[in-house]
């Protein structure tokens, strides 16, 4: 049985359209999902880029960490005292900073800072990045109405503009920061 030219044309056209739909719908969607996830990320750096971390918690002492060369204890606490840092505690916070995604963006006015818990923030995290003179800053405020997210400002501008952006960040930031000083320090069990 011999197929006619029009039949071959339809077979080739159908194959072409099937291939096009596959790449557009399947392969293209995965790339779109990757791009959408990148847009939802709070910051665009990797853990390898981070050289230091400073945490100012409300009504508590300043915590300062620097990356060291030691493989067993890669993070060193500098303030309030010099000691090896707890790798699990620091790594949990670093994972949130690198992989954390914002839920939504809110435009607010400076007089509304108190409503979002940002007038007296829960904590301010400064992240030092290799090759960058200014740190990335995340200011964490209060929880949202259902307790699933926390209000935050990313890299707040130095000038006191009237309008600014607030994001809803994962509530895990609050959990990561509500640690006693001893939990930030490496125990002898961590070093073994």
Is 4 a residue whose pLDDT tops 70? yes
Hey, which residues does 149 pair with through a beta bridge?
170
Residue 31 is predicted with a pLDDT of: 59
**pTM beyond 0.75, yes or no:** no
| Most confident option among 41-45, 102-106, 156-160, 168-172 | 168-172
Q: Which of 104, 70, 105, 97 is nearest to 84 (CA)?
A: 70
Query: What pLDDT score does 192 carry?
Result: 44
Write out pLDDT tens, residues 63-85: 899 887 777 678 888 888 888 88
pLDDT interval class at 57 (50, 70, 90): confident
Using only the alpha carbons of the chain, give its radius of gyration: 24
Helices (H), the chain: 5-21, 28-40, 87-99, 172-177, 181-184, 188-191
């Amino acid at each position: 049985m011999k197929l006619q030219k029009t039949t071959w044309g339809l077979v080739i056209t159908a194959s072409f359209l099937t291939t096009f739909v596959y790449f557009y719908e399947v392969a293209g969607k995965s790339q779109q999902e990757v791009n959408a996830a990148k847009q939802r990320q709070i910051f665009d750096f990797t853990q390898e880029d981070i050289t230091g971390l400073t945490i100012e918690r409300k009504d508590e002492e300043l915590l300062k960490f620097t990356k060291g060369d030691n493989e067993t204890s890669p993070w060193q606490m500098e303030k309030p005292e010099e000691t090896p840092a707890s790798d699990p505690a620091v790594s949990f916070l670093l994972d949130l900073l690198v992989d954390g995604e914002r839920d939504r963006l809110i435009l607010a006015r400076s007089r509304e800072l108190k409503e979002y818990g940002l007038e007296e923030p829960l904590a301010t995290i400064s992240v030092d990045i290799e090759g960058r003179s200014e740190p990335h800053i995340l200011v964490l405020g209060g929880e949202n109405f259902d307790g699933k997210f926390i209000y935050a400002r990313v890299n707040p501008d130095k000038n006191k503009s009237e309008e600014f952006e607030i994001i809803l960040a994962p509530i895990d930031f609050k959990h990561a920061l509500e640690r006693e000083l001893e939990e930030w320090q490496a125990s002898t069990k961590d070093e073994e």
